[in-house]
Structure 1
Amino acid sequence: MVRLTRAQQQARTRASVLAAARAEFTEHGYAPAKVDRIAERAELTRGAVYSNFPSKRALYLSVLVDLVESEGSGGAPAPASPGTAAEALGALARVWLERIPLAEDPAAGGRLRLRSLSGAADRDHDRAVLAQTAHLEALLLAIGLEACEPYAERRVRLAEVALTLLGGCGALAESAPGFGDPFDRIRACEHLADLDLADTWAPAHLPYVPPAADARAPWSPPAGPVDAIGGSPVDLGADGVVAVLGARRLAAAEEAVRAARPGDQVTVAVVTGDPAETGALVRLRVVDLVACLRRVFPARTWDGLRLVIDDTGTVAEALGLSAPDDETEAAVRVGQRRITARAQGRGAAHAAAAAGATGAAGHTASSGDEGHR
């Protein structure tokens, strides 16, 4: 008889709970689902379920993350080139619309397939986090679109419009299944590329951000953080910027990307005071979009950007942040394995990225840095 270690037993219990929960949510949906029935399906006690997941909401989000990660591991390989912006948007729409359930599909299962957050993310705090996560999602898509023909300095507004259209498709599929022709929506996404949105990068607060403080400190980055975009371990010692952003500060990721120097690695570590729920919410949205993007754009598209969901706070701790929360914003510039500049507070990511570089604030994805396109 093989004796399992404690860690192996915990992993087996967690997997059993997730499988049972997925069956429960598929059959009943989020609100009517019962933790007691989940425990029964998993042949565990109610206490065993709660020892692995602090709430039904945390369990539901974990089920969705597990669903997205398992689906994202397959699919067609990324193309060698994204082609034009119109072609990329059409390809993204086709990939994204694969999740739309058929009109005759059961409502509960269809909502799970849509990654519906109805009832599970309705608090004011959740809405604020989702708004910030949407900024990060738009940045990720924009970096891909900026690598497309015709090249453009900034395509964040185009990305925002495209994600709004696709998000609306999901909302309609949930409330009015069967409405509309998906091929019309694909064509609509393609035509978005022709819009002149006069996209510029000029946040009003940046002129008032104090410069980063010079520093000459050793840098001993933690090993182990994994990039949520590429899935590989992140070298936090690479020259560039490490920004720790709370779940309600994610829009600041673009400030680091735009101010970074050519050749910099920009690492964004997302932190929260509630990893089981808020952290899972951010992870769900990011991993879900990335799974779609990686079927549309070449893997090298985001070479200059690393994204870490810092659930354990190891990256934040390395920066000297003892109690990071959803409002945290801090960053350092790293050079030759040493910290050369530090910043904290609003605009910290921009200040650290711009440190020591004349005119760095004007750097955009089209100014020669292929990694940030």
Structure 2
Amino acid sequence: MTESRRSVPFSYRPGRPLFAVAPMIDWTDRHCRMLHRLLAPDALLYTEMVVADAVLHGDRERILGFDAAEHPVALQLGGSDPDKLARAAAIGAGMGYDEINFNVGCPSDRVQSGAFGACLMREPKLVGACLKAMREAVAVPVTVKCRIGVDEQETGPALDALADEAVEAGVSAIWVHARKAWLKGLSPKENREIPPLDYERVYALKRRLPDVFVGLNGGLASVAAGAGQIGRVDGVMLGRAAYNQPDDLRNVAPLIAKVERRPIEDGELIEAMTHYAEQHIARGGRLGQVTRHMTSLFAGRPGARRWRQILSEDAVRPGADASLIARAFTEVRPIETVAA
């Protein structure tokens, strides 16, 4: 397992290249983040979106607990009540999160029924009030992740209005998914794929706000593709591509962080994740909760199909123990590193 790298408080700086793995509901839980941290020590990691009410009234350790090795890690909150969001942000910061992020981009039916997420693109003043309340409640960075607009909105005025309220509230960064969200007629999956990408709209926002950190999300298929965006924006955020091609995360250090760092070797990764899974099982967890995030490792290599099969089928059997990870790895032809 890695050691915590939180020697100094996390901060955003315009012009400092930053790579992040996007918050993804049902995917970026603590076990997923541990795998991603081992592969990309220089990445910023995000939780799944957590609704403020769940933080205030739910099992906080189960909902918000994380390993110190995950730093820097951001908590993404959903909601639309400034007071509740402020209290939830304070709880998150108190538990050690390096950043509190506000979700203004999720288009799911769940957030629409609660009048938050992407719906808030229509209410920039409320977004500003929520961000201001969170900013006043915590000392860590407060950021926002949004779309370029929703439904029939004109993306220029919509994004600029939201960004202006966010800057006025004192946010440290604006992360933009460079697509509209269509709140009626498209599923969340379709909203990630069908509305056309408009990177130029995000570039224009960065030119308009040169002293504000602006990050780009949406449609980036690889770490290398993200690296190609640095300069026009300050940071890039990969979602499904990072999850489905986790080996690619080893390229964050050379391509975006621009640091000389030896990528973790396959054997080291397997050893670390086995140890992590052992600890999780000892606390009452199940092996499959960890290994479900590992099935996409080693894609394209001889033995990768058998690796996936073992982790998908055997790891969920009652009593499965962490040694199964090493057994599955014996099916994969090992290589020392993944080339940049």
TM-score, normalised by the number of residues in structure 2: 0.27
Which of these two proteins has the greater Rg computed from alpha carbons? 1
Decide which structure has greater strand share: 2
TM-score, normalised by the number of residues in structure 1: 0.26
Comparing both chains, which one has the higher relative contact order based on Cα–Cα distances under 8 Å and sequence gaps of 6 or more? 1
